Structure 1
Amino acid sequence: MSFDSLGLSEPLLRAVNELGYTNPTPIQLQAIPAVLKGGDLLAGAQTGTGKTAGFTLPILQRLSSLAPASTAGGAKRPVRALILTPTRELAAQVEESVRAYGKYLKLKSTVMFGGVGINPQIDALKRGVDIVVATPGRLLDHMQQKTINVSQLEILVLDEADRMLDMGFIHDIKRVLARLPAKRQNLLFSATFSDEIKALADGLLDSPALIEFARRNTTAETVDQKIYPVDRDRKRELLMQLIRQNDWFQVLVFTRTKHGANRLAEQLTKDGISALAIHGNKSQSARTRALTEFKAETLQVLVATDIAARGIDIDQLPHVVNFDLPNVPEDYVHRIGRTGRAGAEGEAVSLVCVDEHVLLCDIERLIKRAIPQEVVPGFEPDPNAKPEPIQRRSGGQGQGRRGGPRDGEARRNGDGRHPTQGEAHGARPANSNGNGNGWGNA
């Protein structure tokens, strides 16, 4: 089935065709007609399934075909659609898609997030925009300063709602919802359907259509997963050997902490492998530069924390490396979902030391499969090594999964916000289940 059969207008089809897309993905086949009907939608889809086009295309279609309500005094165009995302990078990526798909329409859009000046965003709102893509914290700033008027909003999208809840944005989201008109179309997209997501959906959505493209907490079959057991102090050496021997390029590497990301990127650069780090403490310009170089394939390795990597969208990203396993097993699914997207093949490897055996067990229990292990000659782990407690992430807060906003855009000093919280999901001793130190217990 082609995009022509989904009821999209000629200007949208022309833009889609120019971007090189011919056949819609499964989530697009279901989401586009559902959104066009005007009802609420609850959609479950892993990252990389094409969900952004699944909601941006029908939103553009609806806004271009329906005349906006009249504004007071016939002034500027009103904000008619609001798309909330958890991170700056994802917000920028979604708004870029809105502009790309809507290039032949007369609709205007803008993106708003923290870490950058607020005045250009205010100027854009004064000129008038139809679609706003925003992170929750910066949107609330505009609402509190009365620089945005959402009284005529027609469509609300919560994109990657599970991540927004994980990052502690639930209270911000509720504050935003309280200021929106009651009559509107609501679209909620989430990679997982936790009890908290279901509770949010129950309070937000009215008789929604339900689309669940991927089973809950599953990994793509196109991703080749592998575990490399290694001693904790030899991870960097093993990573360098894997990159060099396999001639890997465009490698996305995940670390548990911001400090660890900085240190690893610096060490790789010293060893002749071009690398940059992105995380919540990096300036927006530094994050943008790193992503631009990585996408352009002029940067070999991008080292990231979970939150900073959330908005990375690269077609056919070949390699994801878990330098550290995540404390929360669901984050493993999100991490390796950066590769093997939309049917493409990808490779996800994890460098696992004795400290991380419990984390590995949690991951395998979640995805309901054992991940193959391979010991690299010369990097055999010490069978007598004792597990050590995994250190909490940088910042030392040690807060739980929902202890407050933790994205780099959330609550920064300098624009009326409190200091950024740590990126931790919380940590626990790696040997808390008493498994001891042998790989046979992993």
Structure 2
Amino acid sequence: MLDVFKEKFAAAGFTELSPIQTAVATPMAEGTSVLGLAPTGSGKTLAFTWPMLESIRVGEGTQAMILAPSQELAMQTTNVVRDWAKLIDAKVLAITGGANVKRQTEKLKKHPEIVVGTPGRMTNMIADGKLKLGHLKLMIVDEADELLTDETLDQIREILDATFAETLQLGFFSATETKILDELPRWFGQKVEKIDVRAIDQTQGVVRHRTMEVGNRNRVDLLKRISRVDRLRALVFFNKMQELQHVSLELRHQHVSYVALTSNQRQVEREKALRLFRQGKVELLLTTDLAARGLDVPELPAVINYQLPKDVTTYIHRSGRTGRMGAEGLVLTLGDDHDIRDFKKMMKSTEYEIKPGYLVDYKIVDTKPAKVKPTLTFDHPSSVEEATNGRHRVEGAGHPDTVKRGAKPSRAVPVKADTFSAPKKHKGHNKHSKKKGMRKKNRDRFSKS
């Protein structure tokens, strides 16, 4: 590691490299193509950033490219790499979809040493002759298990065809392993050294994995209540855009503090949503797996699976957004009894310790609370919870939410617990009695006259 990097590393409060950073340093410095497998939040970005920057020659054109599956991850990586690259006066440019093409083209004329972006925009810029890769020496494929599929795999191979290097050094990094990662030599025509530190990496903090049983009709209300937990900010994951939009409207109607991050938003909107969430100005960030892939939100307290992850790999990447670099975290998975049963069956082969969780007094607890008997009587029993201001509200496994919203309590009369009989009517309270008395009084007065 260069001396300027060591000084910055120490100034940031780090005392030692993470396992993946240690393991890939020598092979990458020697020009070896590598596959780096490490848990989410274990420092993979810096693992390839330092060796890459040490091989850069400032002023000799674009020499390194980093590919990411989303605009957000590309911008996040750009910021990290740029922060270190300025120590050696190297230029870093983000080339992503959704951004202004003319502005990117103008910046390319300054010949940045490193470009970071999404495969689609990269191939377009190459095809238009705006991005030239004659000096490219290294290509990094981040979140490789996601990128090396279908259309993006073809785009990455197109980018390789546009290079002139006989042996381009490659770096593939991922938190999970898929079949294609075992077939890299066949797809890219060169030997790739596999470096897997997942079994020895201990950088992740303590993360609680909990389920909460709730019916579909009451799931939005439960999410609203969870958002009120003290010091809780959460990434809320959805499988379908339609459901995300529906929940977004419901939360807006209920005045819940949230933002949404979706692939069909403009880049300005996406950047604003992330900024507000990272600054702690909103409690919830609604998103999909693709939009949030690889995102780093420092000290994120929680992840909520509003819809069940489709497989174990998806769960690993979702839960990896919390508990990063030693911080504590919480992962909540919501669903009805069938959902929770299917989810536990899917996760049975993993080492995650998944338990029921409960929302009590705006805290997430592991102990199932005892039921509290009501002490007031109401015209509508559904008003009990609202009248007690939620003091005995219990959400979670075995506690479906059956209380209607918006109900107002009527006048209450102290009675014994479990008694919901209406107060008895007293004699003389007939609604016609007053008019009947007035008529009699008038007859008596006229008869006297």
TM-score w.r.t. length of structure 1? 0.76
Residue 411 of structure 1 corresponds to: none
**Residue 359 of structure 1: how far off its partner (Å):** 4.6
Distance 1:249 1:179 in 2: 47
Q: 1:121 to 1:352 in 2, by over 3 A?
A: same
**Correspondence 1:309 to 2:292:** yes
Secondary structure of 1:127 counterpart? coil
Residue 231 of structure 1 corresponds to: 215
Residue 28 of structure 2 corresponds to: 35
Secondary structure of 1:307 counterpart? coil
Distance 1:220 1:343 in 2: 5
Residue 101 of structure 2 corresponds to: 118
Secondary structure of 1:183 counterpart? coil
Distance 1:242 1:201 in 2: 47
Secondary structure of 1:96 counterpart? helix
Q: 1:112 to 1:251 in 2, by over 3 A?
A: same
Amino acid in the other structure paired with 1:198: D
1:383-422 aligned at under 5 Å gives the runs none
Secondary structure of 1:189 counterpart? strand
Whether the aligned pair in 2 keeps the contact of 1:110 and 1:124 (CA below 8 Å) is yes
Q: 1:48 to 1:219 in 2, by over 3 A?
A: closer
Secondary structure of 2:93 counterpart? strand
1:61-210 aligned at under 5 Å gives the runs 61-64=54-57, 77-166=60-149, 168-180=151-163, 181-204=165-188, 206-210=190-194
**Residue 182 of structure 1: how far off its partner (Å):** 2.8
Secondary structure of 1:104 counterpart? helix
Amino acid in the other structure paired with 1:42: L
Q: 1:379 to 1:16 in 2, by over 3 A?
A: closer
Whether the aligned pair in 2 keeps the contact of 1:48 and 1:338 (CA below 8 Å) is yes
Secondary structure of 1:277 counterpart? strand
Whether the aligned pair in 2 keeps the contact of 1:261 and 1:278 (CA below 8 Å) is no
Residue 276 of structure 1 corresponds to: 259
Residues 384-432 of structure 1: per-residue CA shift (max 9 Å, x gap): 9xxxxxxxxxxxxxxxxxxxxxxxxxxxxxxxxxxxxxxxxxxxxxxxx
**Correspondence 1:344 to 2:319:** no
Secondary structure of 1:276 counterpart? strand
Secondary structure of 1:39 counterpart? coil
**Correspondence 1:334 to 2:317:** yes
Distance 1:162 1:374 in 2: 31
Which of 1 and 2 has higher RCO (CA within 8 Å, sep 6+)? Answer: 1
Distance 1:323 1:382 in 2: 18
Whether the aligned pair in 1 keeps the contact of 2:205 and 2:324 (CA below 8 Å) is no
- Please, which runs of 5 or more residues in structure 2 have no aligned partner? 360-392, 401-449
**Residue 378 of structure 1: how far off its partner (Å):** 4.4
Amino acid in the other structure paired with 2:44: K
Secondary structure of 2:247 counterpart? helix
Amino acid in the other structure paired with 1:95: T
Distance 1:311 1:293 in 2: 18
Residue 268 of structure 2 corresponds to: 285
Match of 1:373 among 356, 361, 386: 356
Match of 2:17 among 24, 36, 39: 24
Amino acid in the other structure paired with 1:316: E
**Residue 219 of structure 1: how far off its partner (Å):** 12
Match of 2:7 among 14, 21, 25: 14
Distance 1:226 1:382 in 2: 14
Amino acid in the other structure paired with 1:182: E
Distance 1:161 1:202 in 2: 15
**Residue 39 of structure 1: how far off its partner (Å):** 1.2
Distance 2:396 2:42 in 1: 37
Equivalent residue pairs, number: 365
Amino acid in the other structure paired with 1:242: I
**Residue 299 of structure 1: how far off its partner (Å):** 1.6
**Residue 192 of structure 1: how far off its partner (Å):** 1.9
Residues 334-366 of structure 1: per-residue CA shift (max 9 Å, x gap): 000000112221111111224525651453135
Secondary structure of 1:254 counterpart? strand
**Residue 215 of structure 1: how far off its partner (Å):** 4.7
Q: 1:223 to 1:375 in 2, by over 3 A?
A: closer
- Please, which runs of 5 or more residues in structure 1 have no aligned partner? 1-7, 68-75, 385-442
Secondary structure of 1:320 counterpart? strand
**Residue 237 of structure 1: how far off its partner (Å):** 1.4
Distance 1:350 1:103 in 2: 42
Whether the aligned pair in 1 keeps the contact of 2:63 and 2:114 (CA below 8 Å) is yes
Distance 1:221 1:19 in 2: 19
Q: 1:133 to 1:116 in 2, by over 3 A?
A: same
Whether the aligned pair in 2 keeps the contact of 1:162 and 1:190 (CA below 8 Å) is yes
Residues 42-66 of structure 1: per-residue CA shift (max 9 Å, x gap): 11112211000000111111114xx
Larger Rg: 1 or 2?
A: 2
Residue 423 of structure 1 corresponds to: none
Identity %: 28
Distance 1:345 1:332 in 2: 17
Secondary structure of 1:249 counterpart? coil
Secondary structure of 1:347 counterpart? strand
Secondary structure of 2:65 counterpart? strand
Distance 1:283 1:318 in 2: 27
**Correspondence 1:258 to 2:251:** no
Residue 222 of structure 1 corresponds to: 206
Whether the aligned pair in 2 keeps the contact of 1:254 and 1:321 (CA below 8 Å) is yes
Q: 1:39 to 1:225 in 2, by over 3 A?
A: same
**Residue 26 of structure 1: how far off its partner (Å):** 1.5
Whether the aligned pair in 2 keeps the contact of 1:155 and 1:184 (CA below 8 Å) is yes
Whether the aligned pair in 2 keeps the contact of 1:340 and 1:346 (CA below 8 Å) is yes
